[in-house]
Amino acid sequence: MLDVVQPRLWDIDPVQLLGRRLGAEYRPIALRATILVIFGVLAVTHAELIAHDRRPTSVDPTVTGSVATAFLLLLVGTLSTIPVPSSVPKWLLPLGETLAASLVVGALGQSADQYVPYLLIPLTTAGLTAGLGAAFACASVSSLVFVATVTVGPSRPEFNLWLWLSLFAADAGVSGWAKRVLASQRPTAEYDAAYANAHRLLSELNTVARQLSLGLDPHTLAKALVDDIHAIVPGIHTTVLVRSGGARMVPLVGEPPSDLAESVVHDAWVSADLVRRGRNGATVVAMPVLMGERVVAVVALGASSQDQNLGEDSVKACRATIAAAGPRLASALLFDDVRRLATVDERHRLAREIHDGIAQDMASVGYLIDDITATAGDDSVKSRLRGLREHLTGLVDELRLSIFDLRAGVDESVGLARTLGDYVTRVGSQAGLIVHVSTDESPHRLPVATEVELLRIVQEAVTNVRRHAEANNLWLTVVVDPPRAHVVVADDGKGLGVPRPDSIGITGMRERARRIGAVLTVRNRSQGGGVLVEVLLQPVQGATSSSQTVTDPDSVRLVSDSASETALAGRQGGGPS
Amino acid sequence: MTGAVDHIKVLLVDDHQLIREGLRRAFDRAGDVEVIGEAGTISEAMDALERLAPDVLVTDVRLPDGDGIALAERARRETPELGIVVLTMYAGDDKLFAALDAGASAFVGKNAPAEEVVAAARHAAASPRAFAAKDLGDAMQRRMNAPAGPKLSPREKEVLQLLVDGLAISQIARRLYISESTAKTHVANIYEKLGAGNRAQAVMAAVRLGLVEGREP
């Protein structure tokens, strides 16, 4: 590899065009070859033009010498542009090239005079890559060689020694100074390298995310990990926990840990090593999922009695499986985080744009209509204007709610059920609906990404009710019991006329549900008309210890005929109701 | 109030010129109101408040250089008898309650007809310290319907449960993977929300309010 810092001179050189086709590593030698050809041809044609005039000598020796020098210099150039390890000092190659080229040009005398400009190349390279000191060192070397060869070597009447010496010095000064200016204009090479690394990682991540059939979804990966562990130790209670918002440990897959497991998980997290502890016949083994030195998650295995085998061999096998899954899970979690932050940013930007743009414009149009209404003489015109005003007020209302939706998020300090309840109450009552909220929330939290998606699904469902249902009542039932959640939005409106499974709203809800591994059902209520939207987050894998149930009397009433729904097939795995 | 008694002097603050124009027309039509100045930013507004001494300040919530509610709060502190009308495009209840807390006289959504803004300005001039908002009743009800009793966050509930279980603060911190100082902050917040001065009072209050479950030993 060549030095990362390519001299900027290349960028403004016409050789760049050629260099692009040749590839970056051939650019320096291409530049040298071009210079040699140009000066060689110029010198030969110049010599022919003046040959009849002052020096009636034959042209041939000049041409021969010229070509020979050019080849020698090209050899020097090739040798000094070969890739070297970055441990080689940057000044070494330009200095060597300067010395060799000066010797060639100086020793060959008059026939090589036209190639003296070639020396400016290593000089400039030294200045741009290694700085002022190296450039002056090169300038001194070539000056010494020239002074020596002009004094003791063959005579060269046309050679203007002092002109070239001062040119060398000037070039060294300019290129060294240019390096400083360029360096001050852009971040240091280390910064560049860091960005280059980050960029490479991100593009790899992007490629991987596109190529993986599962994507980079933490849930899917964690579930796959749990499946792998169950293949080694069947029937073991497995929980994959990650850190979410602050210091909270959240189960990504599996049950929230018991008191015993909680302390074991904590110790595994802090020590970044396997922790095993038993109490009253129950054994818990917690293993960190590592990405390098960093703990990204903890896998807790719990055996309730001795018959479940948690022997050394199976733990060792689990450990190997977990070690292999570490980088994948870490990347997925990171990717999830990046995506969520980007989404929040974009939603807020959109909200600001609507707020400051079209919403204000529409409001001002409203005031304009108010003005026209007040001054209109004709009663029929007035009443039509009032109708228009009402319509416009409705539109501004819609925009206000859109802004509200876009800005709404989940809060670290307020539970999801409360957040959903507040949202539905606020928006439902603005739309003139009677809102019934029933929530049941465990102190454990779901992963942030899951909470956000559930909020968005509820937002979409409520928007549909507001816009299309013509309902009187709106019911929200939320049961959160990580890793399970059950959210139902129902209304008593006109129902789903013709089912439109392809409608954008429903598609969006379905995609969101899929992303968090939940099942979405949208259908007409069996009694009383209206639509029912149900999201059931019910881990199929890893939920082996469940004796609890996510259903409560309200949701049972609302989904009484749901047994036939294929969408709810997963529920049977959740234990007796 | 200073100056003419029959005319209410209004200062309009909104960064959208079309909104200001629309409202100015509405105030002109009203007859008893006069727009004596307009401002597009908080700094312009502060300047105009001092220079023009209006009776009523009508301000938007979102302004390029800050928050209209903060402006209302400052104006209220400096001129206790100033009428303040807060306009907003935001739909959440939080802005309404923020305006109430800031000492505004009225709160009007930007979806409402201009006449409502004029009416709010009249109300603000007449009784600057009485808060009026069309949505106030509903918003209050929503706030009342929110779960009764002290609102503990889920985290605080966890800490409270552990307090009731008799754990020391260091044990609580360890159990919840939080630092001891964070645990102390949670405990202090719980005491404050429950009106308790010590652990025994907090436990009593928690049990009385049904905030904790008894746990088998």
* CB contact residues (below 8 A), chain B span 18-77, against chain A: 18-19, 21-23, 25-26, 29, 62
Does B214 score more than 70 pLDDT? Answer: no
Tell me the average pLDDT across A309-326: 82
Nearest to B138 among A414, A429, A445 (CB): A429
Do B109 and B204 sit in the same domain of this protein?
no
**Amino acid (one-letter) located at A211:** Q
* pLDDT at residue A165, rounded to an integer: 85
CA distance A189 to chain B (A): 38
Do A444 and A401 sit in the same domain of this protein?
no
Average pLDDT, chain B: 85
**CB atoms near residue A353 (< 10 Å):** 13
* pLDDT at residue A526, rounded to an integer: 82
Residue that has been written with the tokens 């990580």 in this structure: A482
Picking from A161-170, A279-288, A440-449, A500-509, which range would have the lowest pLDDT averaged per residue?
Answer: A500-509
Nearest to B91 among A361, A401, A414 (CB): A401
Give yes or no for B84 touching A (CB within 8 A): no
Inter-chain CB proximity B154 and A415 less than 8 Å: yes
In this prediction, what percent of chain B has a pLDDT beyond 90?
48
How many domains would you assign to chain A?
Answer: 4
Taking CB atoms and an 8 Å cut-off, how many pairs form between chains A and B? 122
Tell me the average pLDDT across A56-80: 72
Q: pLDDT higher for A143 or A57?
A: A143
Inter-chain CB proximity A426 and B175 less than 8 Å: no
Residues of chain A with C-beta less than 8 angstroms from the C-beta of B26: 367, 370-371, 374
Do A402 and A427 sit in the same domain of this protein?
no
Give yes or no for B110 touching A (CB within 8 A): yes
* pLDDT at residue A547, rounded to an integer: 34
Best residue of A260, A356, A370, A393 to probe chain B, by most B CBs closer than 10 Å: A370
* pLDDT at residue A4, rounded to an integer: 45
Tell me the average pLDDT across A92-113: 80
Do A378 and A419 sit in the same domain of this protein?
no
**Amino acid (one-letter) located at B60:** D
pLDDT tens, B42-58?
999 999 999 999 999 99
Q: Residue A500 maps to which CATH number? A: 3.30.565.10
CA B27 to chain centre: 26
Say how many residues make up chain B. 217
Give yes or no for B161 touching A (CB within 8 A): yes
pLDDT range class, residue A574, cuts 50, 70, 90: very low
3-state helix, strand, coil in chain A (%, to 5): 60, 15, 25
pTM tops 0.80, yes or no: no
Best residue of B17, B61, B89 to probe chain A, by most A CBs closer than 10 Å: B89
Tell me the average pLDDT across A67-96: 81
Q: Residue B138 maps to which CATH number? A: 3.40.50.2300
Residues A371, B25: contact at Cβ < 8 Å? yes
* pLDDT at residue A366, rounded to an integer: 94
Is the N-terminal amide bond of A483 cis, ω within 30° of 0?
yes
Q: Residue B189 maps to which CATH number? A: 1.10.10.10
Query: Which of B90, B121, B144 is the last residue before a domain boundary?
Result: B144
Q: Residue A280 maps to which CATH number? A: 3.30.450.40
Which domain covers residue A434, as residue numbers?
Answer: 414-577
Do A138 and A254 sit in the same domain of this protein?
no
Nearest to A371 among B26, B92, B155 (CB): B26
Do A35 and A20 sit in the same domain of this protein?
yes
pLDDT tens, A528-545?
788 899 999 887 644 333
Q: Half-sphere exposure of A361 toward its Cβ, with a 13 Å CA cutoff?
A: 4
The CA angle A484-A552-A450, to the nearest 5 degrees, is: 25
Do B27 and B91 sit in the same domain of this protein?
yes
* pLDDT at residue A317, rounded to an integer: 86
Do A467 and A504 sit in the same domain of this protein?
yes
Do B120 and B172 sit in the same domain of this protein?
no
DSSP 3-state assignment of A164?
Answer: helix
What is the C-alpha separation between A118 and A105, in angstroms, rounded?
A: 9
What is the C-alpha separation between A35 and B201, in angstroms, rounded?
A: 91
Q: pLDDT higher for B152 or B76?
A: B76
Do A256 and A182 sit in the same domain of this protein?
no
Do B128 and B196 sit in the same domain of this protein?
no
pLDDT tens, A1-60?
444 444 444 454 555 555 455 566 677 778 888 888 887 777 777 665 554 444 444 445
Picking from A179-193, A452-466, A491-505, A557-571, which range would have the lowest pLDDT averaged per residue?
Answer: A557-571
Q: pLDDT higher for B70 or A338?
A: B70
Best residue of A360, A373, A439 to probe chain B, by most B CBs closer than 10 Å: A360
Is B3 inside any structural domain? Answer: no
pLDDT tens, B78-89?
988 999 999 999
Is A346 inside any structural domain? Answer: no
ipTM score of complex: 0.71
Is the N-terminal amide bond of B217 cis, ω within 30° of 0?
no
Is B213 inside any structural domain? Answer: no
Pairing of strands A519-524, A531-537: antiparallel
Is A209 inside any structural domain? Answer: no
* pLDDT at residue A294, rounded to an integer: 82
Is A17 inside any structural domain? Answer: yes
* pLDDT at residue A157, rounded to an integer: 64
CA distance A247 to chain B (A): 6
In this prediction, what percent of chain A has a pLDDT beyond 70?
78
Do B39 and B90 sit in the same domain of this protein?
yes
Query: Which of B144, B174, B195 is the last residue before a domain boundary?
Result: B144
Picking from A166-170, A334-338, A557-561, which range would have the lowest pLDDT averaged per residue?
Answer: A557-561
Is B106 inside any structural domain? Answer: yes
Residues of chain B with C-beta less than 8 angstroms from the C-beta of A403: 89-91
Do A134 and A258 sit in the same domain of this protein?
no
Q: pLDDT higher for A530 or A558?
A: A530
* pLDDT at residue B17, rounded to an integer: 92
Is B216 inside any structural domain? Answer: no
Do A432 and A400 sit in the same domain of this protein?
no
How many domains would you assign to chain B?
Answer: 2
Which domain covers residue B79, as residue numbers?
Answer: 8-144
pLDDT tens, B112-121?
999 999 999 9
Do A38 and A60 sit in the same domain of this protein?
yes
Does A482 score more than 50 pLDDT? Answer: yes
pLDDT tens, A333-374?
888 888 888 888 999 999 999 999 999 999 999 999 999 998
* pLDDT at residue A474, rounded to an integer: 93
In this prediction, what percent of chain B has a pLDDT beyond 70?
92
Nearest to B22 among A263, A368, A413 (CB): A368
Do B95 and B190 sit in the same domain of this protein?
no
